[in-house]
Amino acid sequence: MITKLTHHNKTYTLDLSKPLDISIPIRASKENVNAWYIPEPKIEPVRFGDWVGKVKEGASTNFNNILFNPHGHGTHTECVGHITKEFYSIHQSLTQFFFIAELITITPIAIGEDQVITKQQIEEQLHTNPEALLLRTLPNTDAKCNQQYSNTNWPYLTEDAALFIREQGIQHLLIDLPSVDKEKDGGKLLAHKAFWDYPTNPRKGATITEMIFVADRISDGTYVLNLQIASFENDASPSKPVLYTVEV
């Protein structure tokens, strides 16, 4: 299905029948991607006495409870409510779902014992004015789909890098790591705060999506992003970002 999208006086042509899914699903398995020191997700049938909500065990339907954490168990999208005393919901914050996006690939650089993504690296590669920015980090392998991230000191954005992204007017930031911030930073959350301009002027409509996976077959460049979330009244939701190749 061919359709057109107009943004800033440019018309983009895209084929909706050719989506590029960049999400990591949630599975009830120890092989599920994991961060923040929590157990794996659980997907289990409801039980009422001898009754089990599973067709294989005599029920008419499969009827499961699901226990997971959006921040630690897969691709998720969060709003400024992730770091505020006040309650902000991703369901209320994200009200549009199609965006012009730019995908760039970066190899984090070593600073001391850390690996970081710097302002200079992003500035050198960002040549457009997108609504959404996707950061793919190298090395990039399928292992990201079941990586156990806890206590690994993953790469992260410097505060200046996050500030630069905000200053470009980018509303939606997507990254293939568990967090834009350092795993153990004493609660500073410098990149989160810089991107959301918190607490000075919180950007209530801006979002951060973490734990995406962009396969190598997807080239850097401009795409249309469809950012799908579940309707949770929570600071974050599991999400399904989908890219579409475009022609201008």
Q: Among 8-12, 54-58, 105-109, 227-231, which stretch is predicted with the lowest mean pLDDT?
A: 8-12
pLDDT-based confidence at residue 14 (cuts at 50, 70, 90): very high
**Confidence (pLDDT) at 25:** 97
Q: Are 31 and 146 in contact (CB under 8 A)?
A: yes
Residue 22 lies inside a defined structural domain of this protein:
yes
Mean residue pLDDT across the chain? 97
**Bridge partner residues of 51 (DSSP):** 48
Residue 8 lies inside a defined structural domain of this protein:
yes
pLDDT higher than 80, residue 33: yes
Q: What is the CATH number of the domain that holds 98?
A: 3.50.30.50
Q: Are 101 and 132 in contact (CB under 8 A)?
A: yes
Q: Are 68 and 238 in contact (CB under 8 A)?
A: yes
**Confidence (pLDDT) at 6:** 85
Task: Give the other-Cβ count within 10 Å of 50's Cβ.
Answer: 7
pLDDT higher than 90, residue 21: yes
Residue 168 lies inside a defined structural domain of this protein:
yes
CA distance 238 to 108: 26
* Containing structural domain, residue 236: 2-26+70-247
**Confidence (pLDDT) at 4:** 86
Indicate the number of domains in the chain.
1
pLDDT-based confidence at residue 51 (cuts at 50, 70, 90): very high
**Confidence (pLDDT) at 247:** 83
Residue 39 lies inside a defined structural domain of this protein:
no
Residue 78 lies inside a defined structural domain of this protein:
yes
Residue 46 lies inside a defined structural domain of this protein:
no
Residue 184 lies inside a defined structural domain of this protein:
yes
Residue 56 lies inside a defined structural domain of this protein:
no
**Confidence (pLDDT) at 88:** 98
